[in-house]
Amino acid sequence: MTLTLKVWRQSNAHATGRFVEYQANDVIPDMSFLEMLDVVNEDLTDRGEDPIAFDSDCREGICGMCSLMINGVAHGGQRGTATCQLHMRHFKDGDTIAIEPWRARAFPVIKDLVVDRIAFDRIIEAGGFVSVSTGGTPDGNAIPIPKDDQELAMDAASCIGCGACVAACKNASAMLFVSAKISHLGLLPQGKVEKNRRVLSMVKSMDEAGFGGCTVTGSCEAVCPKEISLDFIAQMNRDYLKALLERE
Amino acid sequence: MNLDAKIPSGPLERKWDRHRLEMKLVNPANKRKFDVIVVGSGLAGASAAASLAELGYNVKCFCFQDSPRRAHSIAAQGGINAAKNYQNDGDSAYRLFYDTIKGGDFRAREANVYRLAQLSVNIIDQCVAQGVPFAREYGGLLANRSFGGAQVSRTFYARGQTGQQLLLGAYQALCRQIGLGKVQMFARTEMLDVVLVEGQAKGIVVRDLVTGQISSHAGDAVVLATGGYSNVFYLSTNARGCNVTAIYRAHKKGAAFANPCYTQIHPTCIPVSGEHQSKLTLMSESLRNDGRVWVQKQKGDTRPPQQIPEPERDYYLERKYPSYGNLAPRDIASRAAKEVCDEGRGVGRGGLGVYLDFSDAISRLGVATIKERYGNLFDMYQTITGENAYQTPMRIYPALHYTMGGLWVDYNLMSNLPGLFVLGEANFSDHGANRLGASALMQGLADGYFILPYTIGHYFASSKPLKPSVSHPEFRKAEEEVKARTQRMLSIRGKRTVSSFHRELGKLMWDKCGMARNEAGLKEALQRIPALREEYWENVNVTGENQELNQALEQAGRVADYMEFAELMCYDALMRRESCGGHFRTEFQTEDGEALRDDAHCSFVAAWEYHGVDKRPTLHKEPLAYEEVKMTQRSYK
């Protein structure tokens, strides 16, 4: 296949970016999207041009480091698939593909397609944990946990922190990410103890980072590579309200 | 070189308790006077950084990814072992210890492994308390499964995402300490050298991957938890960024590198689809419980699998190993696959693959059962290959997965350089020549949560560590070296990309120092690696500048280290005149193709001392004294 790529190039956080057109030749259907970009980068390097910067690490859909808006859709539109697991068999010979970074005020561009997602770490630092230190913990079986609660907590805990939810949202809201962590910990007896404190601090940190509010359009859920459910946002809203009232 | 393992005396099961009592403590009020540098934020690094900060030490933690949560521990699927004996099936710390020692083909230290088995139970408690959502039974108690051929069910798991959930637990503990101001986190920052002052590890030199700034950090101790080196083979199941740089730079500064040739191959990965391939994806080995492995008998037979009639198929594992069949151990299954492909009977594009066929299991159990057991794996296979494995056999091929070798450490996890501690996959200590399934996560967390926090205090309390600042001339010198090397890479502007060199090196290592090795091949590799390295430094094309985000430059530095490290692996593989665990020398095998150990001559840890590029490293031997266990030869016939 031969494809035309329109790639966002921006040399650093302060520079003005623009789309640059490249040809991707000899693309084969078994390539992943990022492998296709690797090949384009090899060509650029051979021509003495600066290769396109993009983030990736595990390339098996679990580390959450890869990103990319592909034709305007976070992770390219295959349901439950991160960009690194998107394969070129979903494209046709002659296609034109627009590739952009995540766009959100809280995720400033560092270079080309690479953005800074440190705001997510800050939110976890604000309260996305159980306050236990190493050692002195009770036996793992001391507190039975209903299987359904554990399964639901696991659904929420599968979030890979990639930021697609923010990129897809017209308000650049981080509520799917934040609610997934709040629900994961809040559903388990170990995390319930500091539930109120957690939701209040995490929401505060989220607001301070410049993420927008949620208007429940569901675009986050649609692009989430781990198919995290919108229900968790509803759960978070309930938890938040309850925490506010209980604090009064 | 002093390689005293400092193993406590006394009976095996009391060594760690006794050692804990004998180790000196740092007064709680004095802990804040010590600064610890932790490089790496995977299971070992994050758990160590969090635990040390909780105790009161000041910690600086570094990772090259954009967030500590990305570390490659996250990709572990299977689970984590612990000798809880929740299933009442006869497990114990001793049994887990024995299985691990035996699995490592009797090339690990008894005392370290026993301690690991003892601590395994605390890890589960710790993780549950952190909110790790381990699988549970309807009664609400923790579920277990049997994993990797173990005869007891001792593996704890969180769907197929155990590594992710354990890492998030450690990451959250780390974040809590960052929020409290006890840990300073440096993401997108790569360690490029370790700094020694009067022979003690006192700091590191790092490059800020966003601005290119090269700077130093001083500390009372340096902890490396930087993972393994499978990517020396270019293609492996490791993440793209995994590298040997941190531990190799420490090796160049005098840290002994132990058993570099011990590498683990995983038999069930998705085969390479072309030159563009950037990594290999592992599928759980559990697939072999119901899949049958075969290739066609006829060389060059290109018919689709369904059209090859039964008599023309070679179910080679069932043929060669009738009692274990398709469940033959990882290394045996992997070598057998390579053999049939070398004979020209491999399947799929490029001929590097064998079939894993579920049609018998589907007709016996029905599609629904297979879907229930392996649905997610079949989906993953389809995502990557575009093929439906319910209708056509999967194609699989072995890939590099884990490296047992690493920096030499004593019982306290300190290298031969005072003040330099090494944790997790980056050290060599617990897995011998082969790692048991579901043991990597266990080791990383044991090292970080429950071993280092004690032993680092003992180091601080029992020696009088120097306290140099970054203005010490040794820091300046190390920074200048790093800058010069970076400039040198950027000034070459040759004709080949970094990846093309990495691919060539990887292929050479896979062919000559991969899952089967021999003297002639290793000697050939030792001729070719220096030549390739020379070409690299003359002809590599690293574009861009230092003062920016420059991914080509990052990669170039890592590949430059692989170019040297590969030679060390070959020296080690050539020296070890036996086959054991993940190290298979074709000259040393039984008539049935089984690994032939030489306990009389090779029962030692090989620790290598660096003397310079193009100079032969010196071998030092730490004898392995087995007081408790009797070495046996395995048989899977």
Does B187 sit within 8 Å of A85, measured CB to CB? Answer: no
**Residues 91 to 110 of A: which have CB under 8 A from any B CB?**
110
Which chain A positions have a beta carbon within 8 Å of B74's beta carbon? 58, 62-63
DSSP type of residue A87: B
Of B86, B124, B273, Cβ closest to residue A30: B273
Minimal CA–CA distance to B231: which of B432, B430, B551, B502? Answer: B502
Disruptive mutation site among A58, A85, A197 for chain B (greatest number of B CBs within 10 Å): A58
Chain B nearest-CA distance from A183, in A, is: 11
Range B394-400 average pLDDT: 95
Q: What pLDDT shows up at residue B276? A: 92
Minimal CA–CA distance to B405: which of B519, B571, B552? Answer: B571
Q: Is the pLDDT of residue B187 over 90?
A: yes
pLDDT tens sequence across B58-117: 999 999 999 999 999 999 988 999 999 999 999 999 999 999 999 899 999 999 999 999
Q: Which residue has the tokens 């790496």?
A: B40
Does A130 sit within 8 Å of B130, measured CB to CB? Answer: yes
pLDDT tens sequence across B323-358: 888 988 778 889 999 999 999 999 998 899 999 999
Which chain B positions have a beta carbon within 8 Å of A57's beta carbon? 65, 70, 72, 239-241
Q: What pLDDT shows up at residue A132? A: 98
* Whether the Cβ atoms of residue B503 and residue B549 lie closer than 8 Å to each other: no
Q: Is the pLDDT of residue B312 over 80?
A: yes
DSSP type of residue B271: P
pLDDT tens sequence across B517-553: 999 999 999 999 999 999 999 999 999 999 999 999 9
Please state the separation of Cα A215 from the chain's center in Å. 18
Disruptive mutation site among A10, A31, A55, A129 for chain B (greatest number of B CBs within 10 Å): A129
Q: Which residue has the tokens 């299954």?
A: B333
Domain-by-domain residue ranges, chain A? Answer: 3-111, 117-247
Range A22-43 average pLDDT: 97
Which chain A positions have a beta carbon within 8 Å of B138's beta carbon? 147
DSSP type of residue B451: I
Range A149-164 average pLDDT: 98
* Whether the Cβ atoms of residue B419 and residue B201 lie closer than 8 Å to each other: yes
DSSP type of residue B514: S
Q: Is the pLDDT of residue B637 over 80?
A: no
The CA distance from A196 to A216, in Å, is: 23
Q: What pLDDT shows up at residue B260? A: 98
Does A130 sit within 8 Å of B172, measured CB to CB? Answer: yes
Domains of chain B (ranges; CATH) run 265-400 (3.90.700.10), 473-603 (1.20.58.100)
Chain A nearest-CA distance from B52, in A, is: 9
| Chain B contact for A148 (CB, 8 A cutoff) | no
Distances (CA, A) of B20 to B46, B223, B411, B450: 23, 20, 12, 11
Which chain A positions have a beta carbon within 8 Å of B158's beta carbon? 154, 157
Disruptive mutation site among B59, B176, B541 for chain A (greatest number of A CBs within 10 Å): B176
| Helices and strands per DSSP (H, E), number in chain B | 17, 19
| Chain A contact for B382 (CB, 8 A cutoff) | no
B592 class by beta-carbon count within 10 Å (0-12 exposed, 13-18 middle, 19+ buried): exposed
Topology (CATH) of A3-111: Ubiquitin-like (UB roll) (3.10.20)
B43 class by beta-carbon count within 10 Å (0-12 exposed, 13-18 middle, 19+ buried): buried
Q: What pLDDT shows up at residue B381? A: 94
More confident residue, B363 or A248: B363
What chain B residue is nearest to A113 in terms of C-alpha separation?
A: B549
Q: Where are the alpha helices (DSSP H) in B104-217?
A: 110-130, 162-179
Helix orientation angle between B519-539 and B498-513, rounded to the nearest 10 degrees = 170
Tokens coding A111: 């270079």
Range A143-164 average pLDDT: 98
The CA distance from B161 to A155, in Å, is: 11
Q: What pLDDT shows up at residue A248? A: 66
> What is the average pLDDT value for chain B, to the nearest integer?
95
The CA distance from B267 to B336, in Å, is: 10
Considering only A31-40, A120-129, B134-143, B299-308, which range has the smallest mean pLDDT?
A: B299-308
Catalytic residue among B95, B330, B395, B585: B330
The CA distance from A225 to A180, in Å, is: 13
Determine what percent of chain B is predicted with pLDDT higher than 70: 99
Q: For residue B192, which amino acid is it?
A: L
* Whether the Cβ atoms of residue B124 and residue B441 lie closer than 8 Å to each other: no
Q: Which residue has the tokens 């946990």?
A: A145
Domain A117-247 of CATH type 1.10.1060.10 = yes
Range B359-380 average pLDDT: 92
Q: What pLDDT shows up at residue B634? A: 65
A234 Cβ contact partners less than 8 Å away, ≥ 6 residues apart:
none
Strand pairing class (B257-258; B354-357) = unpaired
Does B279 sit within 8 Å of A60, measured CB to CB? Answer: yes
Considering only A161-165, B167-171, B369-373, B592-596, which range has the smallest mean pLDDT?
A: B592-596
Q: What pLDDT shows up at residue B2? A: 84
Q: What pLDDT shows up at residue B636? A: 59
Please state the separation of Cα B79 from the chain's center in Å. 15
Q: Is the pLDDT of residue B437 over 90?
A: no
* Whether the Cβ atoms of residue B255 and residue B420 lie closer than 8 Å to each other: yes
* Whether the Cβ atoms of residue B248 and residue B516 lie closer than 8 Å to each other: no
Of B70, B175, B384, Cβ closest to residue A63: B70
DSSP type of residue B450: I
Q: For residue A55, which amino acid is it?
A: D
B95 has catalytic annotation: no
Q: Is the ipTM of this complex over 0.90?
A: yes
A28 class by beta-carbon count within 10 Å (0-12 exposed, 13-18 middle, 19+ buried): middle
Of A58, A85, A144, Cβ closest to residue B72: A58
| Chain B contact for A198 (CB, 8 A cutoff) | no
Does B47 sit within 8 Å of A154, measured CB to CB? Answer: no
| Chain A contact for B531 (CB, 8 A cutoff) | no
| Chain A contact for B43 (CB, 8 A cutoff) | no
pLDDT tens sequence across A63-75: 999 999 999 999 9
**Residues 33 to 92 of A: which have CB under 8 A from any B CB?**
34-36, 38-39, 42, 44-46, 48-51, 53, 55-60, 62-65, 81, 85, 87, 89
DSSP type of residue A28: -
pLDDT tens sequence across B140-159: 999 998 887 788 999 999 99
Of A48, A87, A134, Cβ closest to residue B449: A134
* Whether the Cβ atoms of residue B444 and residue B38 lie closer than 8 Å to each other: no
Range B600-621 average pLDDT: 97
Q: Is the pLDDT of residue B14 over 80?
A: yes
Other Cβ atoms closer than 10 A to B51? 27
Q: Is the pLDDT of residue B635 over 70?
A: no
The CA distance from A213 to A171, in Å, is: 6
> CA angle B246-B436-B357, nearest 5°?
110
